[in-house]
Amino acid sequence: MAETPTAIEIDVPGNGRVSGCVYLAPERARLGVTVMLAPGAGAPHTSAFMVLFGHGLAARGLDVVTFNFPYQEQRRRVPDRTEVLETAYLAAIERAARDLPLADNRLFIGGKSLGGRMASHLGASRRELDLGGLVFLGYPLHPPAKPTQLRAVHLRQIVVPMLFVQGSRDPFGTPDELRPVLAPLGTRAHIYIVDGGDHSLKVPKSTPIRQEDVYERVQNEIRSWIEAQTTMPAA
């Protein structure tokens, strides 16, 4: 069993404080990796999806940190400007490295939808973070019904491995839409497809596999993929 998660507060320069949570893996099972997961635009880090993945990944040996963006903490509906979102993400990374028992861990960042996109911005522009990789849970390649408005140019600037967990019927970008975008990245980008999954990786009730099992498989894939990155020999 993973340990009981710990609530934390994160100071965001110029934007007050936001709440977060640390899910520590059981000591005997720890892989020595921190996975930072930021939430999507429509729900905070305490949403059922985020809590499920916090507990699930911690049970698989990964220390997990989740947190809110300022607008979520203030219960506003409209997301903050990109620079504020990035600042909040950086503040969460610094908080984990400075004050939590995670300082020696290898760092992976990512998140659900908007949270993953902000992580990708940092992955593209902040190489000093020395990331092990990025994990995207439903990457928002484009707004729904606007397939030409791609949010992908910066992905080519990311030099670390990336895992894209994408539902086959995601209106923000299907795996088929992602493939040509990621092709120039070669082995840096890996897609794990959730058959029938939507933007939150939910499958239709008529699908023979249970939703809980879908999430279990995703969490197993994340653990396996991260472990593969941490055991690869240095270039």
pLDDT band, very low/low/confident/very high, at 235 (cuts 50, 70, 90): very low
- Per residue in 173-188, pLDDT tens? 999 999 999 999 999 9
State the pLDDT at residue 124: 97
User: Mean pLDDT lowest for which of 94-98, 165-169, 209-213, 222-226?
Assistant: 94-98
What pLDDT is attached to residue 101? 81
What's residue 1's pLDDT? 52
pLDDT in the model for residue 162: 98
What is the reported pLDDT for 2?
A: 57
The amino acid sitting at 224 is S
pLDDT at 166 over 90: yes
CA distance 45 to 111: 10
Block residue for tokens 């997990």: 64
- As a whole-number percent, the residues of the chain with pLDDT over 70 amount to 97
6-231 sits in which CATH class? alpha beta
List pLDDT tens digits, range 147-156. 999 999 999 9
Give the full edge-to-edge strand order of the sheet including 133-137. 6-11, 17-23, 63-67, 33-38, 106-112, 133-137, 162-167, 189-194
Average pLDDT, the chain: 95
